[in-house]
């Protein structure tokens, strides 16, 4: 029996390269009356509606006009056990971790609590148009199991890992160099490559790992080059000063990771705001990826990410929400705040590059552009349906919008989950179908 085919009809927008300026029409396909033919979780074809309807007359047609069909959004850094600490008042990074975040994460020792929160987490992501994310779980193995099981239940391509942390946190939140290694190893064996799941080896950051633990993390990276590696780098001045105290031998913050063999092109470095010239050289040489987290950087008062400076060095920057220091699950709101952070530095984030970034750009940062981030035939059917008139304010603004770029900029600045008319994960709608 041939699998059921679905034809999604709408205004198809699909990037094939990073747009260099607002007029760079060669970087994307835009099909006004377009369609995507989907079956078995995959995109079989992209084209004009008329052509694909003739090609697949038996397909069920779902008409999303006048909305835009785009690849699902990709969030490259956030924390699943922080769903109930977003919007916690008043502190910068280290106090915020100690006062709110660490106590909260101790609750994820409980498998039932982890499972309940993992369900909410996945549902929030898809409600906001995010179909792939790279998340930190808590130190507890049970939290990572809950995370991957919830992703598998929805057939989502999700990346994650249990944090390794063995000092400078409450007792209920500490592993040891050996247990952190063993638990990570068992999770990799069970979840990496199972369905759409992928594992990220996750030493939380320099402050919460002993040198012995980072050495064990380095062994894991060597034994599992197929896995991602994620951590935090140079987010906050007090964090940087404390790291220098804890690692007096290190040349700089990044060297703490580099000297343990963690720095490869599979490494995602959350924040990377206050960097030394040597650290930037090392990022450029290794192909590791800094991750820009705009709403978080503003919320914690961490600083201004130098997107243009790093890009000029040939470095590929990813972009992310960083829930729960980030204040929105929405990659649209992330672009909004990102635009403003770049404005403060006289840098520009035009809407074509912005939408490329949260789709194909983040997929490229993950080395997954052959699977997600575009609407190419043969890729996975993770698709978002965007409504630029979702709220009264957006509708009023749209009455004066004349170009696709203007419409995208309205979505970038004013959009949130209300602008997500539907999200398809592996071809299945995740929002109620009206």
Binding residues for ligand GUN (CB under 6 A): 79, 93, 97, 101, 204-205, 232, 235, 296, 322, 325
For binding to Zn ion (CB under 5 A), which residues are involved? 270, 322
Q: Give the residue with the Cβ less far from ligand GUN, 7 or 206.
A: 206
**Shortest Cβ distance from residue 279 to ligand GUN (Å)?**
17
CB of 297 to ligand GUN, least distance (A): 9
Residue whose C-alpha is closest to residue 411's, from 332, 339, 341: 332
Name which of Zn ion, ligand GUN, none residue 35 binds, using a CB cut-off of 5 to 8 Å depending on partner kind: none
Please identify, using beta-carbon distances, which residue of 35 and 268 lies nearer to Zn ion: 268
71: left (phi over 0), alpha (psi -120 to 50) or beta: beta
Of 262, 291, 95, 56, which is closest to residue 164 (Cα–Cα)?
262
Is 173 or 425 the residue whose CB approaches ligand GUN more closely? 173
Distance CA 117, CA 111 (A): 10
Nearest approach, Cβ of residue 362 and Zn ion (Å): 16
Pairing of strands 60-71, 383-386: antiparallel
Minimum Å gap between C-beta 226 and ligand GUN is 25
Task: Find which of Zn ion, ligand GUN, none residue 296 binds, CB within 5 to 8 Å per kind.
Answer: ligand GUN
Smallest gap from residue 203 Cβ to ligand GUN (A):
10
> Which residues are CB-contacts of 411 (< 8 A; sequence separation ≥ 6)?
332, 351, 355, 386, 388, 394, 419
Closest contact distance (angstroms) between CB of 330 and ligand GUN is 17
- Write the DSSP string, 266-327: TEEEEE--S--HHHHHHHHHHT-EEEE-HHHHHHTT-----HHHHHHTT---EE---TTTSS
Residue 235 or residue 407: which is nearer to ligand GUN going by CB? Answer: 235
Judged by beta carbon, residue 93 or residue 420, the one nearer ligand GUN is 93
Q: Would you say 86 or 131 has its CB closer to ligand GUN?
A: 86
Nearer Cβ to ligand GUN (5/168): 168
The smaller minimum CB distance to ligand GUN, of residues 7 and 97, is found at 97
The minimum distance between CB 121 and ligand GUN, in angstroms, equals 15
The CB-of-322 to ligand GUN minimum distance in angstroms stands at: 5
Which CB atom, from 11 or from 266, has the smaller least distance to Zn ion? 266
Residue nearest to Zn ion (CB): 270
Query: Least distance in Å: CB of 324 to Zn ion?
Result: 9
Identify the DSSP state of 67. E
Report, in Å, the least distance between residue 296 CB and ligand GUN: 5
Q: How many CB atoms lie within 10 A of CB 171?
A: 6
Residue 31 dihedral angles phi and psi, to the nearest 5°: -120, 110
Return the one option of Zn ion, ligand GUN, none that residue 235 interacts with (CB less than 5 to 8 A, by type).
ligand GUN
Find which of ligand GUN, Zn ion, none residue 101 binds, CB within 5 to 8 Å per kind.
Answer: ligand GUN
Alpha helices in 128-236 (DSSP H): 141-153, 177-191, 211-223
Is the CB of 173 or the CB of 332 nearer to ligand GUN?
173
Inter-residue contact 201 to 161 (CB < 8 Å): yes
Least Cα distance to 349 among 383, 305, 393, 381 occurs for: 305
Given ligand GUN, Zn ion, none, residue 166, with its beta carbon under 5 to 8 Å by kind, binds none
Which residues make beta-bridge pairs with 134?
Answer: 159
Whole-angstrom Cα distance, residue 13 to residue 33? Answer: 11
Q: How far apart are CA 260 and CA 255, in angstroms?
A: 8
Separation of alpha carbons 348 and 307, rounded Å: 9
Q: Which does 204 bind (CB under 5 to 8 A by kind): ligand GUN, Zn ion, none?
A: ligand GUN
Q: Are 5 and 44 in contact (CB under 8 A)?
A: yes
For the stretch 319-329, what's the b/e string if a residue is b when 16 or more beta carbons lie within 10 angstroms of its beta carbon? Answer: bbbbbbbbbbb
């Amino acid at each position: 029996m041939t699998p059921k085919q679905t034809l999604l009809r709408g205004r198809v927008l699909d990037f094939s390269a990073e747009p260099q300026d607002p007029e760079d029409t060669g970087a994307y396909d835009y099909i006004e009356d377009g369609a995507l033919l989907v079956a078995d979780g995959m995109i079989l074809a992209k084209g004009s509606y008329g052509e694909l309807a003739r090609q697949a007359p038996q397909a069920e047609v779902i008409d999303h006009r006048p909305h835009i069909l785009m690849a699902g959004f990709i969030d490259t850094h956030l924390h699943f056990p922080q769903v109930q600490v977003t919007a916690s008042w008043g502190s910068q990074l280290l106090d915020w971790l100690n006062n709110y975040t660490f106590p909260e994460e101790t609750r994820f020792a409980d498998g039932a609590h982890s499972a309940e929160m993992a369900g909410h987490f996945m549902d929030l992501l898809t409600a906001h148009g995010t179909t792939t994310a790279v998340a930190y779980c808590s130190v507890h193995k049970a939290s990572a199991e809950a995370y991957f099981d919830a992703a598998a239940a929805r057939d989502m391509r999700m990346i994650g890992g249990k944090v390794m942390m063995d000092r400078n946190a409450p007792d209920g939140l500490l592993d040891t160099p050996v247990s952190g290694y063993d638990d990570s190893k068992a999770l990799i064996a069970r979840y990496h490559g199972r369905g759409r799941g992928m594992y990220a080896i996750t030493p939380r950051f320099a402050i919460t790992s002993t040198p012995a633990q980072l050495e064990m993390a380095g062994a894991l990276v060597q034994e599992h080059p197929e896995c991602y590696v994620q951590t935090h780098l140079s987010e906050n001045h007090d964090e940087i000063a404390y790291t220098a105290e804890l690692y007096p031998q290190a040349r700089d913050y990044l060297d703490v990771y580099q000297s343990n063999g963690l720095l490869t092109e599979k490494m995602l470095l959350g924040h990377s705001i206050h960097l030394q010239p040597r650290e930037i050289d090392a990022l450029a040489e290794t192909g590791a990826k800094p991750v820009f987290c705009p709403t978080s950087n503003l919320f914690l008062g961490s600083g201004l990410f130098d997107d243009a400076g790093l890009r000029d060095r040939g470095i590929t920057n990813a972009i992310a929400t960083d829930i729960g220091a980030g204040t929105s699950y929405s990659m649209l709101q992330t672009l909004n705040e990102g635009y403003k952070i770049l404005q403060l530095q006289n840098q520009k984030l035009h809407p074509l590059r912005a939408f490329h970034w949260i789709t194909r750009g983040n997929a490229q940062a993950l080395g997954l552009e052959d699977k997600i981030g575009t609407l190419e035939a043969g890729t996975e059917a993770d698709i978002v349906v965007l409504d630029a008139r979702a709220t009264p304010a957006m509708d009023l603004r749209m009455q004066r919008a004349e170009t696709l770029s203007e419409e995208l900029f309205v979505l970038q600045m004013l959009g949130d989950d209300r602008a997500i008319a539907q999200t398809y994960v592996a071809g299945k709608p995740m929002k109620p179908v009206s």
